[in-house]
Amino acid sequence: MLIELFTDYTLRNVALGSALLGIVSGALGCFAVLRRQGLLGDALAHAALPGICVAFLLTGSKAPLVLLIGAALAGWLATLLLLTVVRETRLSTDSALAIVLSTFFGFGIVLLTFISRSGSANQAGLDKFLFGQAATLVAEDVQTMGLLGAAALLILAALHKEFKLLAFDAEFAASLGFPARGLSVLLTSLIVIAIVIGLQTVGVVLMAAMLVGPAVAARQWTNRLGVMVMLAAVFGAASGVSGALISVSEANTPTGPVIILSLTVIVLGSLFFAPARGLVWDAIRRRQQRAERLSD
């Protein structure tokens, strides 16, 4: 199996693509989670659909890069609208997220059905973004994903101090003269890149977990941001690769859902058994304390 990982063309692409997604979304997800924007990724993933459709309608091309640019632009527009609604109305962030998510996606579905019924008929490549089809990844896709992901990670590394400050105390950052708003937009843009990478692999619905899961799992093991980001990347990559391996070795197992299920196992394991914060140790400690108190 492990040798096939390096020799089998399909398996290598699927595993590489999923690992890339895990690393990028794991690292970036840490900042989203710490800024309490865990579900932003969910909204942006849904909002990307109309962007993909419009890009196809305008260019007639299904090249990954064209569709991904469409997705990124739509994600951007959605972010902008989201921030405007939160700033200008009394609606909560949570309502604004749900509004943007569902109306953008609804419009995307209108476009998708319009495209498929208007006879151009080769929309077949578009609906794989709904559920993701890691199994259809080819070397070209993986290269595009690798380039995008590397760019996102480089920016993250270059600005990690600024992002750290933004994540823990945005007002302090602003008072020090950092362009807090610009940094926030940049960070969101990087998250859009992670989503764009994820759409082809795990699809719209499961993307939320790829951002939130690794970060929450990593948080249980450490109190240091740097370690948390590294760990989240490792957890993301591990669930990506194990998902790919399991789904290829067993018949009738879709890659995306298996990746998310592996990730869920990691999250639950960390939640219960992480050294300092694990719930199991908590429960044991409490029981001991009660026993001590009773014996006193």
Task: Select the span of 85-93, 155-163, 169-177, 183-191 touching other proteins (CB under 8 A).
Answer: 85-93
CB neighbours of 198 closer than 8 A, spacing ≥ 6? 21, 25, 45, 132, 207, 210
- Nearer Cβ to other proteins, position 72 or 216? 216
Q: Which is nearer to other proteins, 38 or 64 (CB)?
A: 38
What lies within 8 Å, CB to CB, of 133 at 6+ separation is 200, 203, 255, 256
Q: How many angstroms separate the CA atoms of 61 and 58, rounded?
A: 8
3-class DSSP state for residue 121? coil
31 vs 144, beta carbon nearer other proteins: 31
Contact 129, 72 (CB under 8 A): no
Length in residues, the chain: 296
Q: Is 60 in the site for other proteins (CB under 8 A)?
A: no
Q: Which two tokens stand for residue 267?
A: 């999250």
Question: What is the nearest approach in angstroms of other proteins to the Cβ of residue 37?
Answer: 8
Binding of other proteins at residue 102 (CB under 8 A)? Answer: yes
Among 188, 220, 239, 242, binds other proteins (CB under 8 A): 220
Q: Does 197 bind other proteins (CB under 8 A)?
A: no
Q: Which is nearer to other proteins, 147 or 265 (CB)?
A: 265
Paired tokens of 204: 């719209």
Pick between residue 144 and residue 220 the one whose CB is nearest to other proteins: 220
Cα 143 from Cα 126, distance rounded (Å): 19
Q: Are 210 and 202 in contact (CB under 8 A)?
A: yes
- Encoded one letter per residue, x for contact with other proteins by CB under 8 A and - for no contact, window 24-43 reads ---------x--xxxx-xx-
267: closest CA among 209, 199, 205, 201?
Answer: 209
Applying CB under 8 A, which of residues 59, 61, 113, 175 lies at the interface with other proteins?
Answer: 113
Q: Which amino acid is at 179?
A: P
What is the amino acid identity at position 90? Answer: R
Residues that bind other proteins (CB under 8 A): 33, 36-39, 41-42, 46, 85, 88-92, 94-95, 97-99, 101-114, 117-118, 127, 130-131, 205-206, 208-209, 211-213, 215-216, 219-220, 252-254, 256-258, 260-261, 264, 267, 271, 277, 279
